[in-house]
A and B are shown apart, each in its own frame.
Chain A
Amino acid sequence: MPRFLSAKPDARLIPLPWSTPLAEWPTEYLIALPRGISRHVVRFIRVGESIYAAKEVIEDLAVHEYRLLHDLKRLGTPSVEPMAVVTGRKATGGEPLDPVLVTRHLQFSLPYRALFSQGVRGETVERLVDALVVLLARLHLLGFLWGDVSLSNVLFRRDAGSFAAYLVDAETGELHDQLTDGQREHDLQIARTNLFGEFLDLEAGGILDGALDPLTLVDSIENRYRELWRELTGVERFSGSELHRIESRVRRLNALGFDVAELDIRTSNEGQTIQIQPKVVDAGHHSRRLMRLTGLDAEENQARRLLNDLDTFRFRTGQQQVDEAIVAHQWLVQVFEPVVTVVPPELRSKRDMAQLFHEVLDYRWYQSQREFREVPIAEAARGYINEVLRNLPDEAISTEFQPIDQSGRQLSNPYDPSAGFADENEQAPYDPWEDGAEPVAEAAGPFGGFDIEALRAKARQADPR
């Protein structure tokens, strides 16, 4: 009987066909959504309205990843939410099956392969890369050594004009109080290799903008990471007459989306030189502020955009002296809500609401420019919905079956992009290594295949004395 390890059990998971290897589950339980490549068998499963990702993986790693994802959530990191580990699975014949790690499908998330679908613009790639760099720096600030940084192991969500990256694969992760430079360097080396491979793969598949060069891209990732890290943690020295530089540093960090919780300031005895170093910085400066003022949950750049609109509202209504929280409430009721409530229910799964509001603001700006007038927000919202939103693909989850890969070719397995294209089916050549595959019966032995007699025999062979 399978066992469920879970902090928030979903009873609807229990009757699923756990005694079947995940790769053989009947399609009635599955939903084909775009996703990244993977070594393990990964499937999206649907129970009622909810969608989960299921990954078949050996027990130690399943439990390890479940716990780490929990810790990451607790620390407020953008990552997928672990739901359960299903252990003790047995096939109907009695042979044991690997456990399954279940995570909640991240709504509105876009795996990088889906983002590259319509052939991708250089600018978009840069933004994806930026999002990945920010995620990596955030993880490193928390003391998380990732061990497998790659595009396949993150999910992207739209974040105003850019993207926010979420961690999806924590299998190789380790959490410490603080990482050493060497540990960060290690992650960076891994990132370089993996991303270079992924870009080459997109290039080989004909879906990378010809103007983009994989090597330049990975170099820029490394440089941006180093720049960001320096800004987040670096020591800055200046003379006592330049005290404004303390404030400038904090503002720069805020602009990057980070709050400074602790700033270490040291002065020389006579106060001639000052040295500052941020000690604790937290990501989410704007999204926290938006949450505090309006209760809205948004990505960092969306929050920035919404807050700007809020500031404009405050100015326009002449309420600079009024308490910010009161104005925020007015803005929510008079501006934000009217926009989102006019969205017909059937279109709501195309964009999350903060993103939609951002896009309406963009739409209004262009329309106002075109028509030389200040277009009211409600009017812009209607125009956006009819002219833009209706024609966008669903992004919460694409409910249609998607047997087609981005390049327009048929996937050989609609549930698994790692398996390549259907039109590449060819006879595999004879492989003597596989044929004479080593006897592996010992693996099944009671003691993990430990065989001292075999070791002694091997030693005698090597040294016949």
Chain B
Amino acid sequence: MATVTFKEATRIYPGGDHPAVNKLNLEIGDGEFMVLVGPSGCGKSTSLRMLAGLEEVNAGEIHIGDRDVTDLPPKDRDIAMVFQNYALYPHMTVADNMGFALKMAGVAKEERAKRVQEAARLLGLEDFLSRKPKALSGGQRQRVAMGRAIVRNPQVFLMDEPLSNLDAKLRVQTRTQIAALQSRLGVTTVYVTHDQVEAMTMGDRVAVMRDGVLQQVDSPLALYDAPNNLFVAGFIGSPAMNLIQGKVVEGGAQVGDYVVPVPREVLAKAGSDATVTLGIRPEVFRLAPDNQGVAVDVAVVEETGADAYLYGTLSGLSEEERLNAQQIIARISSRQPPQRGSQVRLVADVGQVHVFSNTTQGRIS
């Protein structure tokens, strides 16, 4: 077991004009489940390959435990890269399907059998070991695939989108199993995904990347409750946080005919900016009891059990503005849902309104 540390780690592809991974600083604790998440092309796979020794590090360092591995070849790093592929071989038993890579690595037969047995116990697959894989369900196949990684007994697991080709149901089932298994094994794991829901439900901590730059690394809840900047605010959470432009005025930020209260010391941090971005999560909005609040024209109300989601746009926009306007989403109680086409007023507690600088994109509240 080991910690993993990226120190100012940078990768510039030949011919590339900007780094695919730019001065990445990241400390991953012993036994921690760290998820790298971000949109396609942000440098997740590159970071993982750098850690695996499969991509040159142009600047900075990478450590595993107290060893500087920056220049070590992949085989000397004691890591296991889990491929997306988990083809199961029809003529081989489940045991052989789990242990074959060890055979290639020259691990002795008894040792192989021992590790396979141990992994099967962890995965509840003991009764299947001598069987052929053909009758296995999708979920069981996934467990055999996990078994392949576990038997390798590495210091660090690297997983690059291992669930990306599964259907939604199997994906949810498998991600729960991987996370549970990882915490039982306690092996440091770096997991890459572009799916923020997957990241949030699996990771002990989540590192959000964009254009090769680490935006924030935190626990899922901290990312959700205190996003560092506009990118993280918009990327994490589903449905996404409402990001609304407000004009800086005395006492707050004006949206339409309403001034959203913002503490004076927060506004001060906006410097000379004329506007700020207000970030409000859909579940934080409430229907205002009086006429005080952000006015929204209701486009659709969708009821999902006890809750309803209201979709609309800010009131008082011109036709053209409306077409380009960001959609406002609010989660409201479904007891008295407003009519579509009507106007509602929405408010949120001051403490739950995030304020971002439009100049730095950073959080100022």
Residues of A at under 8 Å CB distance from B? 37-40, 57-58, 60-61, 98, 147-148, 150, 152, 171-172, 176-178, 180-183, 185-186, 189-190, 192-194, 196-198, 200-202, 204-205, 215, 218, 412, 417-421, 424-426, 428-434, 437-438, 440, 442-450, 452, 455-456, 459
Closest to A145 in B: B45
Q: How far is the CA of A282 from the CA of B141 in the complex (A)?
A: 41
Q: Which residue of chain B has the shortest Cβ distance to A169 in the bound complex?
A: B85
For the A-B complex with A150-B85, A443-B169 known, give 16 more contacts whose Cβ atoms are closer than 8 Å.
A58-B167, A98-B167, A193-B83, A194-B87, A201-B92, A204-B91, A418-B88, A420-B134, A426-B135, A428-B135, A433-B140, A438-B177, A440-B173, A443-B168, A447-B239, A452-B237
Contact A438 B172 (CB under 8 A): yes
Q: In the complex, A183 Cα to B165 Cα: how many Å?
A: 21
Per the 8 Å Cβ criterion, residues 178-235 of B in contact with A are 195-197, 200-201, 219-221, 224
Does A449 contact B14, Cβ atoms closer than 8 Å?
no
A-B contact pairs, 11 of them (CB 8 A): A61-B164, A182-B55, A185-B54, A186-B52, A194-B85, A197-B87, A200-B89, A205-B90, A433-B123, A443-B168, A447-B239
Which stretch in B125-133, B258-266, B332-340 binds the other chain? B125-133
The answer on a CB contact under 8 Å between A196 and B167 is no
Q: Which of B28-36, B96-104, B248-256 contacts A (4 or more CB under 8 A)?
A: B96-104
* Chain B residue with the shortest CB-CB distance to A407: B91
Question: Across the interface, which residues of A come within 8 angstroms of B87, CB to CB?
Answer: 37-39, 150, 152, 194, 197
- CB of B247 closer than 8 Å to a CB of A: no
Name which residue of chain A comes closest to B135, CB basis: A428
Contact status of A418 and B74, CB under 8 A, knowing A193-B104, A443-B172, A450-B197:
no
Known A426-B131, A433-B124; contact A449-B54, beta-carbon cutoff 8 A: no
Taking Cβ atoms with an 8 Å cutoff, the residues of B that contact A are 13-15, 49, 52-56, 74, 81, 83-92, 96-97, 100-101, 103-104, 123-124, 127-128, 131-135, 137, 139-141, 143, 164-169, 171-173, 176-177, 195-197, 200-201, 219-221, 224, 237-239, 283, 302, 304, 309
B residues in contact with A432, CB < 8 Å: 124
The answer to whether B85 touches A455, judged by C-beta atoms less than 8 angstroms apart, is no
Interface contact B56-A434, CB-CB below 8 Å:
no
In the bound complex, residues from chain B placing their C-beta under 8 Å from that of A186 are 49, 52, 54
Q: Top 9 nearest A-B pairs by Cβ distance?
A: A420-B134, A205-B91, A201-B89, A450-B238, A447-B238, A182-B54, A429-B127, A204-B91, A182-B55
User: How far, in whole Å, are A38 and B90 apart by their CA atoms in the complex?
Assistant: 11
Q: B96–A200 contact, CB under 8 A?
A: yes
Q: How far is the CA of A143 from the CA of B283 in the complex (A)?
A: 46
Which residue from B56, B167, B168 sits with its C-beta under 8 Å from A182?
Answer: B56
Chain A residues near B15: list those with CB within 8 A: 177-178
A202→B304 CA distance, assembly (Å): 52
Q: Tell whether, in the assembled complex, residue B172 and residue A200 are in contact, meaning their CB atoms are under 8 Å apart.
A: no
CB contact under 8 A between A455 and B124, given known A180-B14, A448-B197, A450-B200 = no
- Whether the pair B89, A190 counts as a contact (CB closer than 8 A) is no
Q: Name the residue on A nearest B14 (C-beta).
A: A178
Contact call B124/A37, Cβ cutoff below 8 A: no
A61 to B196, CA, bound (A): 18
Known: A150-B85, A193-B83, A455-B220. A58 touches B165 (CB 8 A): yes
Complex: chain B residue closest to A172, CB-CB: B84
Which residues of A sit under 8 angstroms from B81, Cβ to Cβ?
189
- A448: which B residues are within 8 A, CB to CB? 195, 197, 238
- B173 in contact with A437 (CB, 8 Å): yes
Q: A437 touching B101 by the CB < 8 A rule? A: no
Instruction: Identify which of A442, A452, A459 contacts B283 (C-beta below 8 A).
Output: A452
Residue pair B54, A183 in contact (C-beta under 8 Å): yes
- Pick from A182, A412, A459: contact of B49, CB under 8 Å: A182
| Residues of the B chain whose Cβ atoms lie less than 8 Å from the Cβ of A449 | 168, 172, 197, 201
- Residues in B with CB closer than 8 Å to A194 are 85, 87
Shortest distance in angstroms between A441's beta carbon and chain B's nearest beta carbon?
9
Q: In the complex the two chains form, what is the Cα distance from A177 to B15 in whole Å?
A: 9
CB-based contact B238/A455 at 8 Å: no
Flag if B134 contacts A433 (CB, 8 Å): no
The answer to whether B134 touches A419 (Cβ under 8 A) is: yes
- Is there an interface contact between B100 and A443, defined as CB atoms closer than 8 Å? no
Contacts of A424 in B (CB 8 A): 132, 134
Q: Tell me the complex Cα distance, A147–B224, Å.
A: 33
* Most central of A178, A192, A425, A448 by chain B CB within 10 Å: A448
Bound together, the chains give a CA A202 to CA B100 distance in angstroms of 13
Q: In whole Å, how far is A1's beta carbon from the nearest beta carbon of chain B?
A: 21
B84 touches A434 (CB 8 A): no
B97 to chain A: which residues have CB within 8 Å? 197
Q: Chain B contacts of A421 at CB under 8 A?
A: 90, 134
Partner of A434, one of B139, B171, B219: B139
What are the residues of chain A within 8 A of B200 when measuring CB–CB? 450, 455
On whether the beta carbons of A455 and B224 are closer than 8 Å, the reply is yes
Given contacts A417-B90, A418-B90, A450-B197, contact A442 B104 (CB under 8 A): no
Residues of the A chain whose Cβ atoms lie less than 8 Å from the Cβ of B166? 58
CB distance from A168 to the nearest CB of B (A): 14
Max chain B Cβ within 10 angstroms of own Cβ: one of A60, A171, A197, A421: A197
A37 to B14, Cβ gap below 8 A? no
Q: Which residues of the other chain, A, contact B171 by a CB distance below 8 angstroms?
A: 443
On whether the beta carbons of B173 and A438 are closer than 8 Å, the reply is yes
- The residue on B at minimum CB distance from A147 is B84
Q: Is the CB of A202 within 8 A of B238?
A: no
Q: Is the CB of B85 within 8 A of A190?
A: yes
Nearest CB on A from B239, distance (A): 6
Is A433 within 8 A of B238, CB to CB?
Answer: no
B141 — which chain A residues lie within 8 A by C-beta?
Answer: 39
A204 to B238, CA, bound (A): 48
Closest CB-CB distance, A180 to chain B, in whole Å?
A: 6
Chain B hits for A425, CB < 8 A: 135
How far is B83's CA from A428's CA once the two chains are assembled, in angstroms?
Answer: 27
Chain B residues near A430: list those with CB within 8 A. 127
Judge whether B132 and A420 touch: CB under 8 Å: yes
A residues within 8 A CB of B124? 431-433
With CB as the reference atom, state the residue of chain B lying closest to A448. B197
CB neighbours (8 Å) of B131 from chain A are 426
Of listed B49, B81, B87, B135, residue having the most chain A CB within 10 A = B87
What residues on B are CB-neighbors of A185 within 8 Å? 54, 74
B100 near A57 with CB under 8 A, answer no
Q: Which chain A residues border B127 with CB–CB below 8 Å?
A: 429-431
Cβ A412 vs Cβ B221 within 8 A: no
Q: How far is the CA of A203 from the CA of B52 in the complex (A)?
A: 31
CA distance A183 to B45 in the complex (A): 10
Contact partners of B169 in chain A: CB under 8 A: 440, 443
Q: Are A429 and B128 in contact (CB under 8 A)?
A: yes
The answer on a CB contact under 8 Å between B173 and A459 is no
B103: which A residues are within 8 A, CB to CB?
Answer: 196, 200
A434 B137 Cβ-Cβ under 8 A: yes
